[in-house]
Amino acid sequence: MLKSEFGQWLRGLLRHWIVLLGGGGVAFFQLVYSLWNQSSPPMITWLILLVCLFAAVFLAWRDEHRKTENLEESLTPRLQVSVEKKSIANAIWDGNKWMIFLRVIVSSLTARRIQKAKAYLVSIEKDSKILWDDQEVPLTFAPGESPDALCKTIEHGGSYPVDVVIVRRDDNSLFLGTPKRAWPHFDSVHDIFSENGDYIINVRVSADECPSMLAKVKFHWGGDSFNCGIDVIATEVVGQSKAVNSS
């Protein structure tokens, strides 16, 4: 590993040294001069070579430093996923049905605008047992009927709710915050949340030019709309993961 890294640095050093100020040409001149005149080359050529060498060392160091900075920037969180007061909201859905929306809040950690933010459901667990992790599916930013519900621009200072779980008040039916609240999978939402207790719902939020954030969301289900809650218990920076089902 160390040998490989040193080799990469040495190749970069030689590349800069040859290009800079004609370092390669000066070295060739010194060789020809020594063979032809049987004496040492002029002192000025040694000074030129030394300047080229110092400049090449600096440029090779700068290349590696920039690589390190780019790596650090790619791992620096720019998105925040949290729970606030408006994480639990009551609203009418599908005409006249009262629903409780349990949401996480996405916000920016920088002053820059973040483009094309998207949220995905990654997996669902209970008591360290995986209940569902077939394939990432999109979650909607609230309100779920908006044209930008699946692709949001995050402004600095703003907070943007993402629908995670939805409870229908009249019969305590559960829905996940997918587009049109559809769940085209073998295990139904009712089967997944068939027991009361705490569930871990992993949610990934991605955006252009910033690393994805994986939020470990705790969903408490007590069996009805009056006994449910949501909280974010951990977040971490992650890369792009499994293929996304955008249908």
Specify the amino acid at residue 65: H
Dist. CA 35–CA 81, nearest whole Å: 70
Dist. CA 62–CA 16, nearest whole Å: 11
> What's the pLDDT band for 185 if we cut at 50, 70, 90?
confident
- What share of the chain has pLDDT > 90, as a percent? 42
Residue 111's pLDDT is 80
The whole model's pTM is what? 0.67
Sketch the domain layout of the chain as residue ranges: 2-75, 79-238
Residue 245's pLDDT is 37
Average pLDDT value over all residues in the chain: 78
Residue 180: strand, helix, or coil:
helix
Q: For 3-62, write each residue's pLDDT tens digit.
A: 565 556 556 555 554 554 455 555 555 555 555 555 555 555 556 666 666 666 666 666
Dist. CA 241–CA 212, nearest whole Å: 9
Largest interatomic CA distance in the chain: 101
Q: For 87-111, write each residue's pLDDT tens digit.
A: 888 887 777 788 899 999 999 888 8
Q: Which residue has the higher pLDDT, 28 or 184?
A: 184
Cis peptide before 41 (omega within 30 of 0): no
Mean pLDDT, to the nearest integer, of 191-201?
A: 95
Q: Is the dihedral of CA 134, 229, 174, 196 positive or negative?
A: positive
Among 84-93, 151-160, 198-207, 209-218, the range with the most confident prediction by mean pLDDT is 198-207
Whether 247 shows a pLDDT value over 70: the answer reads: no
